[in-house]
Structure 1
Amino acid sequence: MKSRLTYAVIPARGGSKGVPRKNIKLLKGFPLIAYSIAAAKLSKLTDRVIVSTESSEIAEIAQHYGAEVPFLRPAEYAQDRSPDIDFIRHAIDWFAKNETTAQPELFVHLRPTTPLRDPALIDEAIGKIVKNDDATALRSAHELAEPPQKMFAIENGYLAGFFPGDPRPEYYNLPRQVFPKAYHPNGYVDIIRTGYVTRTNTLHGPRMIGFVTPYTIEIDNPDDFSHLEYTLEKQSHPLYEYLTQNY
């Protein structure tokens, strides 16, 4: 099915304030990044597994678990507020300048902070974008339990709705069923067309395929990490089993 050169690209910077050393913190005995590497390696439709990091320590760990680290990302592209397009553009430019073979057309962007994936869903996502030449990108998301119309900001100590222009009195008290379904992008699998990034200097463009996945936990704070540890204690996962059998 796939005829386009496809690289899994896993970004893993060394700094993290919410969970220190998050990308290599052990999750049931294995570094967090190892789960994303395993998912990419078990995908049948990715040609290479690349880790982009500025950290030599992370690079060494990534290589141990089977990823390639052909370059170290410049530190200025690995700051707290560095946008994703920085490391993506750096990777595209590096391959163009340093490898004479065919260049990758698709980057499968796998965030280490969403570790528990099904490799078959990665392949399904690749298949969807390969079949849709009009799509500028693909992003994964899961359905939210509540739509944004039922959420609040706090202004001067008082709750305030996010949609003050809605003409319905106290619209936020309406049943959730009257609002459109809402989806949260979750980092399970995003797919970027490298040529589109080069032409427009944007990542996703206006025609993103919405790839709906099961609800998934993203690690942003220590509680999220503890919850995943608990999940793996109660029920094993194919990626954990793969790591246990091979490492």
Structure 2
Amino acid sequence: MECKVNKKGSVLALIPARGGSKGIPRKNIRYVGGKPLIAWTIESAKKSKYIDRLVLSSEDEEIIAIAKNWGCDVPFVRPESLAQDDTPGIMPVLHALEVLPEYEYIILLQPTSPLRSEQDIDNCIELCWQNNASACVSVALVDKSPYWMYRVGKDYKMDSIIQSETLYNQRQETPPIFALNGAIYFARAKWLKDKKSFLTSETLAFQMPKERSLDIDTQRDWVFFETIINNGLKN
């Protein structure tokens, strides 16, 4: 299949998967739909038109072995110091760029977003390239508008999170608000090394549908994912 846009440079895809998940132990290699969670992301990434190399960043031997079995390259083992509970998410990305400096772009694909498709990946990259942007991340429309959210003080009084002169009485009247869905983070490598974040005033938003924006963080999220897969509701 031909690319819709001229390729701007080589693309490294990175799947971060450490072994110390607390909310759902070993979730990255926990099976659903006949394959480990990480395999859902590996399969989508391998179908991308633009990704030149797909690699794993992990310190865990079992995760490494499973990722290799599903066709993901593992050219390095992540240092234990970058696999702690409090390790900033950008650090494994910057580490990968240090080890593999020859790529012009990097795309971060978290295994906890298994419903993201290869079309989502490619469309996000295309949006960035078409606009000559330095970075693009995926977002989804929020279910609950922050225009209806409040802080509650010790005196039980309500203080609006968003100050607005307009009073919205119906959900349909509120302005559309988007939130990061955790599925796709794409950036020019040199730019990311300098900014040390995918999120700046220069970053574009790639809008994904809510039905593919599941970010598995809790047991409830996992049960929801199992329900989708076991009932053939994906896509």
TM-score by length of 2: 0.88
Aligned partners of 1:196 and 1:202 also within 8 Å: no
* Distance in 1 between residues matched to 2:86 and 2:169, nearest whole Å: 37
SS of aligned partner of 1:187 = strand
Per the TM alignment, residue 29 of structure 1 is displaced from its structure 2 partner at its CA by: 2.2
Aligned partners of 2:141 and 2:178 also within 8 Å: yes
* Distance in 1 between residues matched to 2:142 and 2:197, nearest whole Å: 26
* Distance in 1 between residues matched to 2:206 and 2:178, nearest whole Å: 10
**Which residue number in structure 1 is paired with residue 12 of structure 2?**
7
**Which residue number in structure 2 is paired with residue 108 of structure 1?**
107
Q: Cα deviation per residue 1:165-223 (whole Å; 9 max; x = unaligned)? A: 5456xx5x633344321012112222122111222333332111111111021111111
* Distance in 1 between residues matched to 2:14 and 2:154, nearest whole Å: 43
Any unmatched runs of 5+ in structure 1? 97-102, 239-247
**1:61 equivalent in alignment to 2:85:** no
Q: 1:3 to 1:163 in 2, by over 3 A?
A: closer
**After alignment, is 157-166 or 69-78 more displaced?**
157-166
* Distance in 2 between residues matched to 1:155 and 1:69, nearest whole Å: 50
* Distance in 2 between residues matched to 1:119 and 1:65, nearest whole Å: 16
* Distance in 2 between residues matched to 1:202 and 1:231, nearest whole Å: 32
**After alignment, is 177-186 or 210-219 more displaced?**
177-186
**Which residue number in structure 2 is paired with residue 85 of structure 1?**
90
* Distance in 2 between residues matched to 1:164 and 1:192, nearest whole Å: 30
2:50 to 45, 51, 54: 45
Q: 1:151 to 1:50 in 2, by over 3 A?
A: same
What percent of counterpart residues are identical?
Answer: 33
SS of aligned partner of 2:81 = helix
Per the TM alignment, residue 26 of structure 1 is displaced from its structure 2 partner at its CA by: 1.0
Aligned partners of 1:149 and 1:161 also within 8 Å: no
TM-score by length of 1: 0.84
| Structure 2 counterparts to residues 28-177 of structure 1, below 5 A | 28-96=33-101, 103-133=102-132, 135-156=133-154, 158=156, 160-163=158-161, 165-166=163-164, 171=167, 174-177=169-172
Aligned partners of 1:192 and 1:204 also within 8 Å: no
* Distance in 2 between residues matched to 1:18 and 1:186, nearest whole Å: 18
- Structure with the bigger percentage of helix: 1
Q: Cα deviation per residue 1:90-133 (whole Å; 9 max; x = unaligned)? A: 1111113xxxxxx1111111111110122122111111112222
Per the TM alignment, residue 229 of structure 1 is displaced from its structure 2 partner at its CA by: 0.7
**Which residue number in structure 2 is paired with residue 243 of structure 1?**
none
**1:220 equivalent in alignment to 2:217:** yes
Aligned partners of 1:153 and 1:160 also within 8 Å: yes
Any unmatched runs of 5+ in structure 2? 1-5
Per the TM alignment, residue 48 of structure 1 is displaced from its structure 2 partner at its CA by: 0.7
Q: Cα deviation per residue 1:31-60 (whole Å; 9 max; x = unaligned)? A: 111100111001111111111111121111
* Distance in 2 between residues matched to 1:217 and 1:157, nearest whole Å: 37
Q: 1:157 to 1:231 in 2, by over 3 A?
A: farther
* Distance in 2 between residues matched to 1:145 and 1:200, nearest whole Å: 31
Aligned partners of 2:16 and 2:57 also within 8 Å: yes
One-letter identity of the residue aligned with 1:5: S
**1:208 equivalent in alignment to 2:203:** yes
Q: Cα deviation per residue 1:140-179 (whole Å; 9 max; x = unaligned)? A: 11111332121234544947444375456xx5x6333443
Counting matched residue pairs gives 228
